[in-house]
Chains A and B, each alone.
Chain A
Amino acid sequence: GQNIDQPTEMTATEGAIVQINCTYQTSGFNGLFWYQQHAGEAPTFLSYNVLDGLEEKGRFSSFLSRSKGYSYLLLKELQMKDSASYLCAVNKEYGNKLVFGAGTILRVKS
Chain B
Amino acid sequence: GAVVSQHPSWVICKSGTSVKIECRSLDFQATTMFWYRQFPKQSLMLMATSNEGSKATYEQGVEKDKFLINHASLTLSTLTVTSAHPEDSSFYICSALTGEDTEAFFGQGTRLTVV
Residues of B within 8 A of A31 (CB): 102
B78-115 vs A: 1/0 string, CB under 8 Å? 00000000000001010101000111111111010000
- The docked-state distance in angstroms from the alpha carbon of A83 to that of B20 is 32
The size of the chain B interface, using a CB distance under 8 A, is 25
**Is B49 interfacial (CB 8 A cutoff)?**
yes
The size of the chain A interface, using a CB distance under 8 A, is 24
Residues of A within 8 A of B25 (CB): none
Residues of B within 8 A of A35 (CB): 106
| Contact assessment for A43 and B106 in the assembled complex, using a CB-CB cutoff below 8 Å | yes
Segment 21-74 of A: residues with Cβ below 8 Å from B? 31, 33, 35, 40-45, 48, 50
CB distance from B26 to the nearest CB of A (A): 14
Give the dominant DSSP class at A's interface. Answer: loop
| Contact assessment for B107 and A42 in the assembled complex, using a CB-CB cutoff below 8 Å | yes
CB distance from A25 to the nearest CB of B (A): 15
- The docked-state distance in angstroms from the alpha carbon of A87 to that of B108 is 16
- The docked-state distance in angstroms from the alpha carbon of A33 to that of B95 is 14
- The docked-state distance in angstroms from the alpha carbon of A48 to that of B102 is 8
| Contact assessment for B44 and A87 in the assembled complex, using a CB-CB cutoff below 8 Å | yes
- The docked-state distance in angstroms from the alpha carbon of A98 to that of B97 is 12
Question: Chain B: residues with CB nearer than 8 A to chain A?
Answer: 6, 32, 34, 36, 41-46, 49, 91, 93, 95, 97, 101-109, 111
